[in-house]
Amino acid sequence: MDVPEPGSGTVGLDTGVPHIARVYDYWLGGKDNFAADREAAEQVMAAAPHVLASVRAQRAFLGRVVDYLVADAGIRQLLDIGTGLPSANNTHEVAQRAAPESRVVYVDNDPIVLAHARALLTSSPEGATAYLDADLRDTDSLLAEAAGTLDFDQPIALMLLGVLHCIPDEDEPHAIVARLLAALPPGSYLAVAHPASDIAAEQMARSSRDYNKQASAPVTMRTHAEVSRFFDGLELVEPGLVQLHRWRPGVGDLEQGRELANYGGLGRKP
């Protein structure tokens, strides 16, 4: 499958408006972004210089969470919504290193993300990987399509890393997550990474305001209490909801004394 080239004016892509997946790609050192994405990313960096450390810490958090889910919790199915552009240590790579039979469904609604995913991300022979073009808000169709790869009678890990801040309060993100969790059996997990509004509050407010002036889909930072609500009814895995670089840190992770405006946590459905 051909992958759209940045700057090519690919039909169906509004290359003049920044998209969060391509902005993240730029921050992570990728090349699959357009001038509008780079401009928005640089403006956010000017307002909140810690953002590069934050998004890289989020990738490291993904690896630690997936490794825990598969190696320690015995999970073999993962539903990764808002996957973003492929990078190092994608969800299925981490999962299938620990358990080759793991099954992973990726969900995104950016055509570049889906094109890259289908072209570059391949499953182990023992497992399965699928890619859905869907919106997080459309829970019914998303779950129906995911059921083509995942067994909803067995525990599933729902991965919502760096996506819930793209859902404004008026779209009721907590209700969306509750509907998704209701479809999962006991023993399933929810992993969340979400930018914080109550750490480096002035910088975060200014950076989100600058980004939202340009983007067609605005972002909403949230407090610790607001992010905690996504885990209502779940059993939080230690150390709970913390700055994500402090969630079970490993060798080479960011120093723990540093403050990052990004929360991470993992909860189990009883």
- Mean per-residue pLDDT over the chain, rounded: 85
pTM assigned to the model? 0.83
**Quick one: average pLDDT of 177-201?**
97
> Which candidate, 191, 167, 195, places its Cα nearest to that of 262?
195
CATH number for domain 20-268, candidates 3.40.50.150, 3.40.50.300, 3.40.605.10, 1.20.140.10: 3.40.50.150
What's the pLDDT tens digit per position in 202-242? 988 888 888 788 777 788 999 999 999 999 999 999 999 99
pLDDT digits (tens, 9 = 90+) for 130-170: 989 999 999 999 999 999 999 999 999 999 999 999 999 99
Task: Give the start-to-end residue ranges of the domains of the chain.
Answer: 20-268
Residue 146: predicted pLDDT: 97
- Which distant-in-sequence residues (6+ apart) come within 8 Å of 171 by Cβ? 137
Could you count the other beta carbons within 10 Å of the beta carbon of residue 217? 13
53, 258 in Cβ contact below 8 A?
yes
Regarding beta strands 235-236 and 262-268, do their DSSP bridges make them parallel or antiparallel, or are they unpaired? Answer: antiparallel
Whole-number pLDDT of residue 235: 98
Do 165 and 226 meet the contact criterion of CB atoms below 8 Å apart? no
Three-state SS for the chain is CCCCCCCCCCCCCCCCCCCHHHHHHHHCCCCCCCHHHHHHHHHHHHHCCCHHHHHHHHHHHHHHHHHHHHHHCCCCEEEEECCCCCCCCCHHHHHHHHCCCCEEEEEECCHHHHHHHHHHCCCCCCCEEEEEECCCCCHHHHHHHHCCCCCCCCCCEEEEECCHHHCCHHHCHHHHHHHHHHCCCCCCEEEEEEEECCCCHHHHHHHHHHHHHHCCCCCCCECHHHHHHHHCCCEECCCCCEEHHHCCCCCCCCCCCCCCCEEEEEEECC
**What gap in Å lies between CA 165 and CA 21, rounded to an integer?**
12
CA dist., res. 201 & res. 180, Å (int): 30
Q: Could you read off the pLDDT of 2-20 as tens digits, one per residue?
A: 333 333 333 344 567 766 6
224 close to 198: Cβ distance less than 8 angstroms? yes
Given this model, what pLDDT does residue 4 score? Answer: 36
Q: What pLDDT does 123 receive? A: 80
Closest Cα to residue 261, out of 191, 169, 198?
A: 198
